[in-house]
Structure 1
């Protein structure tokens, strides 16, 4: 990940400590599905598996999550979204997450589903 004083790994211009850091530290909850998705991408970039687990819906959450330190997340492109606003309880976010693994560049394209329960957004799964 880039210097924490530069733009956040999630692609927004604020520094990590102002942007996704408060979500990762539990100081704030992501207000929309897109912000949750961005903060989850950032958690991959900084290696915060705990945040990924706590923001994963219990119904679809894996029993274990181990991040590979050889995988370097390099850029996030948000391609679109449906729902997921402050006034909704469901939403999708389509994105492309770029990474480098053992010197090879690649990307992951996903359309993720999110639900809000008890006022908190959670990652549910990826649409097929």
Structure 2
């Protein structure tokens, strides 16, 4: 058996890494990162639409009004649970990640619960 040359090994490792790092087209593009969890456009936009479609109704108490300075879009802003690798929250237990949606149904940011306070998630795409 012939030993692989360094360039061959590098090419194999590069291909393997790019295959695993490639975004899943079914999920869309990465919009937010909260701690070590990524949230993708398909889930974010589907959740924002669900918040808008509720029109005053709730599911296990969500969406709930979120009062905070610094978010664009028309108030009142609403907070709705996001669950990693789940397209849209359908009720039940939450895990501390929340999408912020304006009154027109546009996603405006994400937050996560860090002990007793909320922290902003990192945004990778324009929320408009």
Q: TM-score range by the shorter chain?
A: under 0.3
TM-score of the two chains, using structure 2 as the length reference: 0.27
TM-score, structure 1 as length reference: 0.27
Bigger helix share: 2
Higher strand share goes to which structure? 1
Which protein has the larger Cα radius of gyration, Structure 1 or Structure 2? 2
